[in-house]
Chain A
Amino acid sequence: GAGVSQSPSNKVTEKGKDVELRCDPISGHTALYWYRQSLGQGLEFLIYFQGNSAPDKSGLPSDRFSAERTGGSVSTLTIQRTQQEDSAVYLCASNKGQGNYGYTFGSGTRLTVV
């Protein structure tokens, strides 16, 4: 596609429920990144996929967070048993990887846990 597409754009969920956030990267981009931005804060790295390599999960804050990337394209970030502190904007970015740093960000998913 022309840009990085994320869905849904907004999600309100009850505490304790599971949520899935989707990211569709730019066609041909082998690297995909998830970041989290809490209100008024910077961007916190969560997870990074590069081609067929094992993902770098070093930024996932707890075992309630997981992500997968199917077929080297679309990625899903899953948050289980959501907590109020999970409320944030979840941003996805992609690039061509292998040192090609032209990151393109999606518009994000604003998650609100009530």
Chain B
Amino acid sequence: GENVEQHPSTLSVQEGDSAVIKCTYSDSASNYFPWYKQELGKRPQLIIDIRSNVGEKKDQRIAVTLNKTAKHFSLHITETQPEDSAVYFCAVAGGTSYGKLTFGQGTILTVHP
């Protein structure tokens, strides 16, 4: 089945800096790559997603880039703010896994004021 690796496991930045989280996956047929933000005690919330026919997608301070050849995708957060502090999960779907999401292990992002 699909295998998703996420790095780093923790990331600490100063307010205003950029943060980058990277995920690699194993199934070259996968075609959907979402990112979720989970605040303490809350449900995961979708913040951005990308499909395999697109290389980059931006939404205000958040962007996701996809390299299908290398089988990795990254989340980029610019001008970070303290409220960006949370756990971020990448996920992969499609291919042999069809509809189910396989999640990375998560990155704890801390933005210091």
Interface residues of A (CB under 8 A from B): 31, 33, 35, 41-45, 48, 50, 56, 58, 91, 93, 95, 97-99, 101-103, 105-108
Contacts and interface: CB of A to CB of B under 8 A. Distances in A.
A56 B100 contact: yes
What are the nearest 6 A-B pairs in CB distance? A43-B103, A105-B43, A42-B105, A48-B100, A101-B32, A42-B103
Interface of B: 1, 32, 34, 42-46, 49, 89, 91, 93-94, 99-106
A24 to B, nearest CB: 15
A103 B93 CA distance: 11
B34 A101 contact: yes
A105 B44 contact: yes
A82 to B, nearest CB: 22
A101 B49 contact: yes
Contacts, number: 51
B43 A43 contact: no
10 contacts: A31-B99, A33-B100, A33-B101, A41-B105, A42-B104, A45-B101, A45-B103, A91-B43, A93-B101, A105-B45
Given A42-B106, A101-B34, A108 B43 contact: yes
Contacts of B34: 101, 103
B99 A101 contact: yes
A101 B95 CA distance: 13
A50 B98 CA distance: 11
Contact of A42 (B32, B89, B94): B89
Contacts of A42: 89, 103-106
A48 to B, nearest CB: 5
A103 B92 CA distance: 12
Contacts of A108: 43
B89 A99 contact: no
